Copies of this chain bind each other. A is one copy, B any other.
Amino acid sequence: MWGIALQRHSEVALARQLYQILREKMTDGQLRPGEALPSTRELAKQLALSRNTICEAYEMLAAEGYIISSQGAKTRVADGLQLEKAAPAFTENTPPAAPAIAADFQTGRPDIRQFPRHLWLQLLRKATNELSPQLWGYSGPAGLPVLRREISAWLYRSRGLAAEPQDIFITAGATQGLKLLAGEGQAMILEDPCHSGLRQVLQNRGISIYPVPVDRQGLQTGNLNRNGACAVYVTPSHQFPLGGILPASRRAELVRYARENGLYLLEDDYDSEFRYAGPPVAPLYSLDPQQVIYIGTFSKILFPALRIGYVILPRRLQARWRHLRTYADVQNPPFAQAALAEFLQNRKLDRHIQNMRRLYGHRRHILLQTLTAMFGPGWSAWGDTAGLHLAVEFPGMRFDDMFVRHCQSKGLRLATVETHCLRKGEHRDKLLLGYGHLEPAEIKQGLALLRTAFPA
């Protein structure tokens, strides 16, 4: 019968198989409009199937309007079904296999091997078990109240940042915070250099970028004379990537500038927990909570797969934020939020940060020591003794894309400061070395590889 071949052992029900075969015959014109189909009894006999199966297939075809059956009349093929076969899929070229990575100096990577996974699983299990069943539905764009309270308390005890829980909004990470907030204007002032990912976020939104240069102390606030921007993006606690702490006088200047021009300050505090020569730097936020939007993340403190961050918002932006989050991705899942609240509440976070600060500080020391041992005195470190990466200047060197590819061919992954520059040419002699995720032996091995990529 019409060359119908059914697969008796397929996971797809026979009725659906039959439906698909008949449908295809109608759309490609083998069965023509108005043509009569055999009765269900007849087709069942021909195909050695139960009549129920045929009825089910015919019902599917009828429900979707492929066939028309009326009481007492023959079942016929509907009009207007014919459709040329779809063109075959264009096949993407498979990218060439990347060489194996022997040493990876990527920035912004915490050491996830050190995270107390077992403890986290316990907390997650407990939190999920105890979560109100209602929260398995929708729980709102702002985040779980218990987590907002615990973040508020932690920010206060760890860095003296006083923010009410209702001003704290949970995000799916810092990138989301930036993306949602950046969409609210036409232009933004950026530090130059600043993270190239941020540039991507803004470019995707069609937002104009005004670069202001950065020196060893961070944003050069004396050069803030652009018009038309709606916000200044700034990393005052530890400039990315150069590492400066923004001095108090520039902070005051920045806040005055924002007030006078009606701009928001987007303070991205991506890793200020990890300062090795004193407590975390006080946030810009404290100077004016109605002018500063504070963006925080747990990706670097805990682990990136958590996908939890937060923003602290001026009151007049909060209703808008709820709206934007609702129509972006609705909300965070509540389970990890509840576990994180517990992690904060019983001070496990404070302890973890303390442990990691010691560990990362030691690794930084190893990095600096090994640089001296392998490269002599001909280099200098930029920035404060903080964070998970180091910007290193090698005077006279020119680190371009070719150099990066040359390193890659040796199995060495790293980035240049120049990658993060808006105006090119200023920082060609600087490399970025992410060390947080590397054991001392890995740091040494990586630097040895790097040495071989340098001119002899």
Interface residues of A (CB under 8 A from B): 11-13, 15-17, 19-20, 23, 26-27, 56, 59-61, 63-66, 78-83, 86-87, 89-92, 109, 112-113, 115, 117, 121, 124-125, 128-129, 133-139, 153, 156-157, 159-160, 172-173, 175-176, 179, 183, 197, 200-201, 204, 217, 245-253, 255-256, 277-279, 281-282, 286-291, 303-307, 314-316, 318-319, 323-324, 326-336, 384
Which of B217, B252, B277, B305 is close to A83, meaning CB atoms less than 8 Å apart?
B252
State in angstroms the CA–CA spacing of A136 and B252 once bound together: 39
- Chain B hits for A204, CB < 8 A: 183, 323-324, 327
State in angstroms the CA–CA spacing of A316 and B217 once bound together: 45
- Chain B hits for A176, CB < 8 A: 328-330
State in angstroms the CA–CA spacing of A59 and B282 once bound together: 12
Which of B20, B253, B255, B326 is close to A160, meaning CB atoms less than 8 Å apart?
B20
Is A328 a contact of B175 with CB atoms below 8 Å? yes
Q: A19-B160, A113-B133, A305-B335 are in contact. List 13 more A-B contacts (CB 8 A).
A: A15-B279, A64-B245, A64-B281, A64-B282, A66-B248, A80-B253, A82-B252, A89-B314, A115-B136, A179-B328, A201-B327, A204-B323, A306-B333
- Chain B hits for A59, CB < 8 A: 277-278
- Chain B hits for A79, CB < 8 A: 249
Is A307 a contact of B332 with CB atoms below 8 Å? yes
State in angstroms the CA–CA spacing of A305 and B155 once bound together: 27
Is A305 a contact of B249 with CB atoms below 8 Å? no
Is B287 a contact of A330 with CB atoms below 8 Å? no
State in angstroms the CA–CA spacing of A335 and B337 once bound together: 13
* Known pairs A113-B133, A327-B204; A305 contacts B288 (CB<8 A): no
Is B327 a contact of A329 with CB atoms below 8 Å? no
- Chain B hits for A326, CB < 8 A: 197, 200
Would you list 18 pairs from A and B whose C-beta atoms are within 8 A, ordered by A residue? Answer: A59-B278, A60-B281, A63-B245, A65-B217, A65-B245, A65-B251, A78-B249, A80-B249, A83-B252, A86-B290, A90-B315, A109-B137, A112-B137, A115-B136, A117-B136, A137-B304, A173-B330, A307-B331
Is B315 a contact of A89 with CB atoms below 8 Å? yes
Closest B residue to A316 by beta carbon equals: B90
Is B159 a contact of A81 with CB atoms below 8 Å? no
Distance between A95 CB and nearest chain B CB, rounded to angstroms = 10
- Chain B hits for A250, CB < 8 A: 65
Is A282 a contact of B78 with CB atoms below 8 Å? no
Closest B residue to A247 by beta carbon equals: B65
Distance between A33 CB and nearest chain B CB, rounded to angstroms = 9
Which of B26, B179, B252, B306 is close to A248, meaning CB atoms less than 8 Å apart?
B26
State in angstroms the CA–CA spacing of A153 and B197 once bound together: 35
State in angstroms the CA–CA spacing of A20 and B328 once bound together: 38
Distance between A125 CB and nearest chain B CB, rounded to angstroms = 6
Distance between A55 CB and nearest chain B CB, rounded to angstroms = 10
Closest B residue to A177 by beta carbon equals: B329
Closest B residue to A306 by beta carbon equals: B333
Is A11 a contact of B86 with CB atoms below 8 Å? no
- Chain B hits for A305, CB < 8 A: 135-139, 331, 333-335
The 6 closest A-B pairs by CB, nearest first: A65-B247, A80-B249, A11-B157, A86-B288, A66-B248, A176-B329
- Chain B hits for A11, CB < 8 A: 153, 156-157
Closest B residue to A347 by beta carbon equals: B11
Which of B109, B112, B329 is close to A175, meaning CB atoms less than 8 Å apart?
B329
- Chain B hits for A332, CB < 8 A: 307
- Chain B hits for A278, CB < 8 A: 56, 59-60, 63
State in angstroms the CA–CA spacing of A30 and B83 once bound together: 81
State in angstroms the CA–CA spacing of A11 and B345 once bound together: 13
Is B115 a contact of A121 with CB atoms below 8 Å? no
Closest B residue to A121 by beta carbon equals: B128
